[in-house]
A and B are shown apart, each in its own frame.
Chain A
Amino acid sequence: DTGVSQDPRHKITKRGQNVTFRCDPISEHNRLYWYRQTLGQGPEFLTYFQNEAQLEKSRLLSDRFSAERPKGSFSTLEIQRTEQGDSAMYLCASSSTEQFFGPGTRLTVL
């Protein structure tokens, strides 16, 4: 499968724990995006990478959130000291002309 993949698909954690998600983009795409989607809403932009450089971060991305894309390949999104309000679907997308999305990681914070 040459699409965007994300791991894990589901994550349940307790408040205060740290979590890390991984995204593997389509190999020839140099642009990579993270979005967050809460129930009943459209996805909201979190951050953007061009190759390994993180070029834009949303104000939604508090200091508890950090994202990396070492060597311009896969990307990780880490949330430290999770809060119940972090519960959402986290979507990764990569693009050449249009954005192709992965299946998402659904995070539940208890």
Chain B
Amino acid sequence: AQSVAQPEDQVNVAEGNPLTVKCTYSVSGNPYLFWYVQYPNRGLQFLLKYITGDNLVKGSYGFEAEFNKSQTSFHLKKPSALVSDSALYFCAVRDMDSSYKLIFGSGTRLLVRP
């Protein structure tokens, strides 16, 4: 069965510093991986996805993610954090049955302090 894990409940970083939010996955076959962000009382906003190709994927709002097959990881990164990046971040993997439903991690709260 497909699964993702987000080992950190919360990540704290100072504004202007680089940030990393970790995600590891477990799949059979090639993974289709996603990152979403959720602001309070809002739905999820798509940030980026990895399907195939370049291991460094660039997405919205200056975020990028690095796919590492040997470490089964898909960490979210940003070179310089903004206070407005403070939100809940979810890693997800697409189920490989015909529904293509998403299987989400438990989420990581990112807090960027001024």
A contact residues vs B (CB 8 Å cutoff): 4, 6, 31, 33, 35, 40-45, 48, 55-56, 91, 93, 95, 98-104, 106
Contacts and interface: CB of A to CB of B under 8 A. Distances in A.
Nearest to B92: A42
Contacts of A48: 99, 101
B73 interface: no
B104 A43 contact: yes
Contact of B46 (A40, A43, A56, A99): A99
Interface of B: 34, 36, 41-46, 49, 90, 92, 95, 97-107
SS class, residues of chain A in contact with chain B: strand
B107 A41 contact: yes
Contact of A98 (B46, B98, B103, B104): B46
Contacts, number: 59
Contacts of B41: 103-104, 106
A35 B102 CA distance: 9
B100 A95 contact: yes
Contact of A104 (B36, B43, B97, B102): B43
Contacts of B98: 55-56
Contacts of A43: 44, 90, 102, 104
A65 B74 CA distance: 35
Contacts of B46: 98-101
Contacts of B43: 4, 6, 91, 101-104
A2 to B, nearest CB: 15
26 contacts: A4-B43, A6-B43, A35-B102, A40-B107, A41-B106, A41-B107, A42-B104, A42-B105, A42-B107, A43-B104, A45-B99, A45-B101, A45-B103, A56-B98, A91-B44, A93-B102, A95-B100, A98-B46, A99-B102, A101-B43, A101-B45, A102-B43, A103-B42, A104-B42, A104-B43, A106-B41
A102 B44 CA distance: 7
Given A33-B101, A33-B102, 19 more contacts: A4-B43, A6-B43, A31-B100, A33-B99, A40-B107, A41-B106, A42-B90, A42-B107, A45-B102, A45-B103, A48-B99, A55-B99, A56-B101, A91-B44, A93-B102, A98-B49, A101-B44, A104-B42, A106-B41
